[in-house]
Structure 1
Amino acid sequence: MDIQQIRNATLVVKYAGKKFLIDPMLAEKGAYPPFPNTARQDQHNPLFELPTSVDNIIHNIDAVIVTHLHLDHWDEAAKELLPKDIKLFSQNEEDATEIRNAGFRNVEVLTEDTVFEGIQLIKTKGEHGRGDLIKLAGLVCGVVFKHQSEKTLYIAGDTVWYEGVQQELNTHNPDIIVVNGGDNQAYEGEGASLIMGKEDIYETHKAAPTAKVIAVHMEGVNHWGLSRKELKKFAEEKGFASSLLVPEDGESYTF
């Protein structure tokens, strides 16, 4: 298994001989306006260029997984640049319809027992915020990868820590957990987290202490709330730095 952090939530995962692209945001730096009513209204998205060429990213991709349709997970550039016949997985039929309407012809809805080329792809629960934010942010999912030749991988997606994540950990006992950990905020200020912050990541570690946790979706778009530097410092203070990986854009890990 090889996991490469591309930018924000975009990953390339090589698993059991297949290459997956997760939540592609492929536009050039600054192509989109800032998310409204949030921090850094002077900064356009994405905040950084891709660490490698789009051709390198999409070369020999076997399948794409789109956990939900927010711009920083499925953007106009991805719709334009990806081959229209590529295998593409969505979280539900509503998202699948929208993706098909963009011209994609090979779209499948993830379930709890999806199989692709011998690899189990298991749709997992998520909550994109807390309280009223859950409805405002909309439905999201994560995905667990399982194969007899590989460690179990859980990509949690855009979710905060809550009992649903605990249940997925209990059910699947993953070896590798990828969390979207930038503590992105729904509006400028504290208390409106849309995804995991440092305490959520710590809870994830405590719930799966033998797993390696990889924190992505950091400093990629204007409404981020947790930096890589702050997360690393927090992990040192709490004593779980050896279990946590915080990749820079373009960095990859092999397990």
Structure 2
Amino acid sequence: MKLTQIRNATVLLEYAGVHFLIDPMLSPKGTLPPCHSRVRPEARNPLCELPCPVEVLLEADAVIVTHLHPGHFDQAAAQLLSKTKPIFVQNSRDGEVLRYYGFQQVTVLNADTIFSNITLTKIPGRYGNWDEEMLDHAGSVCGVIFQASDEPCLYATGDTVWYPGVEQAVRTFHPQVVLANAGGNMGWQYQSNMGTEDVLALHRAVPSALIVATHMEDLNHWTLSRQQLRDFAQKKGFLSKLRTPANGESICIFKSKIRNSP
């Protein structure tokens, strides 16, 4: 397995011989409006450029779209990705949107979606600790469990806070690697993905798992930096189980060995 942090929640995953592009946000720096937040309310997104030529990302074998917020799938992705690229989405509504954009191979994830001998399992997320009415307005989100022979089980959380659905997922699947959206991103009132306490709860539920933090420092409403998360993990005693890759940085996982690479 090789995880390459691209930007925000965009990650290039090599898994069991397949290259997945997760949550592609491909727009140039500063070309998208700010997310609705009191945090940096006038800063345009994304806050930095892609760390690699976009053509590298377009060569991926398949795309995972956890939800359709612009920070996870933007107009640039809709325009640049091949319309014959296999794309996996959380529900039929998102599938209809992507088919409207012209994508021809759209699959709704379920409990046992198989792609090239890899099992993909949708895990519902909770987009913040909002009340139910606001959650309905914000829309549904999901994570994905990746499983294949000779590969560690990977859980990509997507945008979610720690809640019983995430706890059930990690206790059911026992992932060896968790790709956690952990920027502590804030809307007007509530945090929409994991902050320090969520990551700590995740570690305590699966203490043997390596947590790889993504979705950090690249949209205007982030509140948790990589350094802050590392400092917190050191204080709580799980720094050895945490990675906070910079944009463009890769983490290779071969059985029980973990190696960072440029």
Task: Provide the residue aligned with 1:159 in structure 2.
Answer: 160
Task: Provide the residue aligned with 1:80 in structure 2.
Answer: 79
**Alpha-carbon deviations, 1:20-72, whole Å to 9, x = none?**
0000000000011111343112310000000001011222x111010000000
Counterpart amino acid of 2:56? Answer: N
Are 1:129 and 1:137, in contact at CA under 8 Å, matched by a contact in 2? Answer: no
Task: Provide the residue aligned with 1:229 in structure 2.
Answer: 227
Counterpart amino acid of 2:143? Answer: G
Are 2:4 and 2:248, in contact at CA under 8 Å, matched by a contact in 1? Answer: yes
d(CA) in 2 for partners of 1:21 and 1:111? 19
Output aligned runs, 1:101-112, within 5 Å.
Answer: 101-112=100-111
Are 1:23 and 1:65, in contact at CA under 8 Å, matched by a contact in 2? Answer: yes
Are 1:129 and 1:160, in contact at CA under 8 Å, matched by a contact in 2? Answer: yes
Deviation at 1:111, TM superposition (A): 0.4
Q: Secondary structure at the match of 1:230?
A: helix
**Alpha-carbon deviations, 1:68-118, whole Å to 9, x = none?**
000000000000110000000010000000010011111010001100011
Counterpart amino acid of 2:73? Answer: W
Counterpart amino acid of 2:167? Answer: Q
Are 1:198 and 1:231, in contact at CA under 8 Å, matched by a contact in 2? Answer: yes
Deviation at 1:141, TM superposition (A): 0.6
Task: Provide the residue aligned with 1:199 in structure 2.
Answer: 197
**Alpha-carbon deviations, 1:133-168, whole Å to 9, x = none?**
422321011100001121100001000001110100
Counterpart amino acid of 1:144? Answer: I
Task: Provide the residue aligned with 2:30 in structure 1.
Answer: 30
Greater Cα shift, 125-134 or 43-52: 125-134
Greater Cα shift, 229-238 or 132-141: 132-141
Q: If the length of structure 1 is used for normalisation, what is the TM-score?
A: 0.96
Task: Provide the residue aligned with 1:39 in structure 2.
Answer: 39
Task: Provide the residue aligned with 1:180 in structure 2.
Answer: 181
Task: Provide the residue aligned with 1:120 in structure 2.
Answer: 119
d(CA) in 1 for partners of 2:62 and 2:68? 16
Q: Secondary structure at the match of 2:120?
A: strand
d(CA) in 1 for partners of 2:37 and 2:152? 41
Are 1:21 and 2:21 counterparts?
yes
Q: Secondary structure at the match of 1:203?
A: helix
Output aligned runs, 1:90-101, within 5 Å.
Answer: 90-101=89-100
Are 1:159 and 1:196, in contact at CA under 8 Å, matched by a contact in 2? Answer: yes
- Once superposed, what is the RMSD of the aligned Cα atoms? 0.9
Task: Provide the residue aligned with 1:64 in structure 2.
Answer: 63
Unaligned runs of at least 5 residues, structure 1: none
Task: Provide the residue aligned with 2:217 in structure 1.
Answer: 219
Task: Provide the residue aligned with 2:130 in structure 1.
Answer: 131
Counterpart amino acid of 1:96? Answer: G
Counterpart amino acid of 1:179? Answer: A
Q: Secondary structure at the match of 1:67?
A: coil
Q: If the length of structure 2 is used for normalisation, what is the TM-score?
A: 0.94
Counterpart amino acid of 2:179? Answer: V
d(CA) in 2 for partners of 1:37 and 1:200? 20
Counterpart amino acid of 1:14? Answer: E
